[in-house]
Structure 1
Amino acid sequence: MNTMPLLENHHAPLILLGGTLCNGRLWQPLSEQLNVTSFSCITLTAGKSAHELATQLLEVLPPRFCLAGFSLGAMVALQMVALAPHRIAGLALLSVNPLRDLPANAAGRRAAVKEAARLGVAPWLTKTLWPKYVAPHRLDNASLHQTIVQMAEECGIAVFADQTEVAISRDDHRAALATFPSPILIINGAYDVICTHSHHQSVAAVAAHARWITLPESGHFLPLEEPKLVAIAMRNWIQETQP
């Protein structure tokens, strides 16, 4: 599990959990605009279940922190809320699917890992995931494509295989949100076909006090597609978490 060092700050530090085949590059454009001095970008490695990853994180993180998760990272964040809600000063869920994975998906997910190993991560991602990752009007954005491919190559097949098992074995922790007292921010992209409007609606339905924002020009990769808008929403959310 890779992290950037935490800096000293008087407020609860911000923990950023990346998604599948994502590392710190996911958060770089956003973190430059958050105006926070204490944050850590975590790549989800060294665990094959959300429970395992959440437990590992809770053992090493500060007693209290703000938590933001993107995609797979949002699934792990929900597991952390279920395990230790008192540790979390605020929760931000970006591109989240809170539901259990359908058992029928497991074979296809594992086959995808094998196909990525055979073709190479970059060609496989470009062929299969890139068309689903961003809004249609960004499909010809070479810089965005390169950043996402570079992250995937840096993570590698072994990490992809473990993260796939996390996605397969995840639980539904929406019940924990119903009693979570701290500020909750939900952000989704209008063009996201991976974590859909319905997925986010199912989170908002149980978190009555959550703020839910839909970015009309974004797909799945919110932090890279619309870092300025995500930063504005998260800055407001961070202010809400301060005592």
Structure 2
Amino acid sequence: MTSLISPFPLLDNHQVPLVLLGGTLCNARLWQPVIEHLNVSSVQTITVSGADSAKALSQQLLAVLPPRFYLAGFSLGAIVALEMLAQAPERLAGLALLSVNPLCDAPANAAGRRNAVQEAALSGVGSWLSATLWPRYVAPDRLEDSALHHTIVQMAQECGTETFACQTEIAITRADHRAALSAFTAPVLVIGGAHDVICTAGHHQAAVSAAPRARGLTLPDSGHFLPLESPQAVATALRNWIQESYHAQKSA
């Protein structure tokens, strides 16, 4: 992966780590460009796997994570982040939701989601992703970006179809946690891509409207995969959010 020079000095998390949750068919590669730009003292990336519901996975993560942390989730990771908020809001120093849909999944989507897992297993997850999801994943002017395409396909292949099957069940069974957002008093950052056709502006606004201390940000040159499409802009927003969250905690 290309090494980037961070535009920022090291940001001390003050012993409160930043935890980053990836999306469907994503691993640590999703966050690497953001981390290199962000330059924080303590960060942990987590692949969403090991359970077939957001509730079960959140319980597993909360059992091993530090008592207090900043939490940022992308796409499916944002769904898990909202579940973690619902279960243990006192553990979160701040919450960032990237490419988020805070609503329950429509029951009619379940069959299509499970069929997609079967199709990916038959044709190979990389080939399946390229044919079905890639055209919807990024902004139109990034569709010919071979390096970006390669990274997203590589992550999918490294995750594999077993992980995809578990992640699909998490998406199907997710809960609407806007009530938990409305009760959360720490800073909430919601970032969306202007060209995201998966998690739309309406979805992002639903999250922003629910949280009393939410700030919404739309990245004009990004689609769904904004951590890879606009890593420096994401890093800048996350850095500001961490600093805001820290100062809010100090003044509380």
TM-score interval w.r.t. the shorter chain? over 0.9
Q: Is the 8 A contact 2:33 2:228 kept in 1?
A: yes
Give the aligned partner of residue 191 of structure 1. 195
2:165 pairs with 1:158: no
CA distance in 2, matches of 1:215, 1:31: 18
2:242 pairs with 1:238: yes
Give the aligned partner of residue 109 of structure 1. 113
Pairwise CA distance, 1:208 = 2.9
TM-score, length basis structure 1: 0.96
Which consecutive residues of structure 1, in runs of 5 or more, have no partner in the other structure? 1-7
2:145 pairs with 1:177: no
Q: Is the 8 A contact 2:194 2:221 kept in 1?
A: yes
Give the aligned partner of residue 209 of structure 2. 205
1:142 maps to which of 146, 153, 159: 146
Render the CA deviation track for 1:35-79: whole Å, top value 9, x for unaligned: 211010000111000001100000000000000000000000000
The aligned amino acid for 2:136 is: K
2:51 pairs with 1:47: yes
Give the aligned partner of residue 11 of structure 1. 15
CA distance in 2, matches of 1:65, 1:207: 19
CA distance in 2, matches of 1:175, 1:227: 30
Q: Is the 8 A contact 2:186 2:213 kept in 1?
A: no
Count of residue pairs brought into register by the alignment:
236
1:28 maps to which of 28, 32, 36: 32
TM-score, length basis structure 2: 0.92
Identity between Structure 1 and Structure 2 (%): 65
The aligned amino acid for 1:219 is: G
CA distance in 2, matches of 1:177, 1:122: 35
CA distance in 1, matches of 2:13, 2:93: 14
The aligned amino acid for 2:177 is: H
CA distance in 2, matches of 1:241, 1:205: 19
Give the aligned partner of residue 100 of structure 1. 104
